[in-house]
Amino acid sequence: MPQVMVVARNFMDMVAALPAAKLDMLYDSAFICEAVLRSFPPLAKKYVIQMLYVSAPMPAAAMQEWVLDEYASKHKVAIDRLLQLRVFVEVRDRRKEVSYKMNNKFQANMQKYLVSGGCLPREPLPFNVTARLPTLVELENYALEQWECFLLQLINSSQVEKGTTFSSSMMKTFQRGLLSSRDGEAAKLSENGFQFLLMETNAQLWYIMREYISSAEERGVDPTDLISFLLELSFHTQGAAYSLSTLTEVQRIAVMDLMELGLVKLQQGRKDSWFIPTKLATNLSSSLSDSAASKEGIVVVETNFRLYAYSASKLHCEILRLFSRVEYQLPNLIVGAITKESLYGAFDNGITAEQIISFLQQNAHPRVIDKIPIVPENVTDQIRLWENDRNRVEMILSHVYEDFPSKDMFEQCCDHARDNGYLLWEDAKKMRLIVSGEFHQEMREFLRRQR
């Protein structure tokens, strides 16, 4: 099974990875300061508020006394996060004692924001300028449709309807790390790609955004500008229209790319064009737990390993095919079964038992969501057992040596392989031994020298 797992990181993890100089540049915007503050754990938020009007460094020992001993671990997490994002800066006095001082830019902007509020660099267009704007329900359906089109193209481009294809350059960016291809062969989903499809929508979105930002320099774009705009976008009003003419060239290109993923919707008027943020865009600055929206599940799993998904979505059908045998599909119902063969196929593709179980639990139908357990215990146990059954034997390339001319030569070869850590097995009685495949050439050279 694969040891490397797809990890979903939100924007604050990407912000924390920026160089100190670029991170300080981001804090020129009050909205980014607020987005950073929102992302903190509760105790870190409390420390920011307490230190907001304190200009002198605060001794670390004094801050330690702000919490009871049983909350020392939460205090450490809060301080570490504040330091990672350079909201707190560590200073040392002559006696080498540690103190914490708030970042000057962050402090000034948050003070200003707290007193007078903030305003975005662009205001929504008035209703007399825009055409009929989509309702929030229509906007959510549009975002879902665009996102499903992207995922379907990731699985198989032939399943995407005409008129919804993405630009080849952006698909390469969005699919980075999710597809693998050999010379002369079409690209196929990698192990990371299969794992990606079972993730929550917001976790998938952050993974794609991380790749989009990390590849920005290849397109001649400063990652700091992209992060700044995307965080700013999360403060726009969902469903409101904003003029494209207020955007810079970098932001305009980003909006066109985000439209393909369903983060914004573009509309054309008589004289002006505008973009409308969807829920996917306004969730960008939230934490993973905050934005895991309570969507209605679709899956019911029975004790006989039968699986029912109440959905008409092609995407849901394709995702279920990753680990189950889909038997038939009705207009609003997908019927399948979890079998040993279907799970072995999933394990071969790099999907783990825990990912499958987690997917079934997170997407459980409302009728079974309150049951304990949500997925029948015999099903989850069997999924884990089949995975363990696959992992009992590990295949290692190796070579067997036999028919040695003498006992001495056999023992010398055993000692040589053992000393180098490549001896896998030996039979002194029949004078046979097995060594690792990578040691084969060296073993042959050793045998030649002994003759």
Sequence-separated (6 or more) residues with CB below 8 Å from residue 11: 35, 39, 206, 209, 227, 230, 231, 284, 285
For residue 169, the model assigns a pLDDT of 58
CATH of domain 11-116: 1.10.10.10
Instruction: For residue 350, give both structure tokens.
Output: 């790099």
E strand or H helix that includes residue 20: helix 20-26
Amino acid at site 79: I
- pLDDT class for 2, splitting at 50, 70, 90? very low
* Rg (the chain; Cα; Å): 28
pLDDT tens, residue by residue, 396-443: 889 999 988 888 889 989 988 888 888 888 998 889 999 988 888 888
CA–CA dist 51, 53 (Å, integer): 6
pTM of the entire predicted model? 0.69
Look at 291 and 35; give whichever has higher pLDDT: 35
Phi then psi dihedrals of residue 10, to 5 deg: -90, -175
Count other Cβ atoms within 10 Å, centred on residue 12: 20
pLDDT single digits (tens) 58-79: 999 999 899 888 889 999 999 9
Q: Is the dihedral of CA 62, 67, 69, 71 positive or negative?
A: negative
User: Which residues, listed in sequence order, are joined to residue 393 by a DSSP beta bridge?
Assistant: none
Specify the DSSP element, H or E, that contains 72. Answer: helix 72-84
Taking the C-alpha atoms of residue 318 and residue 314, their distance in angstroms, rounded to an integer, is 6
Residue type, 165: T
Q: How far apart are CA 437 and CA 399, in angstroms?
A: 6
Structure tokens at 257: 């790319």
Q: Among 58-62, 246-250, 386-390, 446-450, where is mean pLDDT lowest?
A: 446-450
Q: What integer is the mean pLDDT of 261-285?
A: 86
Where do the domains of the chain lie?
11-116, 136-283, 299-391, 398-450
Give the CATH architecture of domain 398-450.
2-Layer Sandwich (3.30)
Residue 33 burial (C-beta neighbours within 10 Å; 0-12, 13-18, 19+): buried
Q: Scanning the structure block, which residue is given the tokens 């973009």?
A: 275
Give ∠ CA 22-27-32 in degrees, rounded to 5: 110
Tell me if 297 sits within 8 A of 369, measured CB to CB. Answer: yes
Q: How far is CA 50 from CA 46, 115, 311, 344, 377, in A?
A: 6, 15, 49, 54, 48
The beta-strand segments (E) located in 278-384 are 299-301, 306-309, 325-330, 333-337
Q: Give residue-wise pLDDT tens across range 15-25.
A: 888 888 888 88
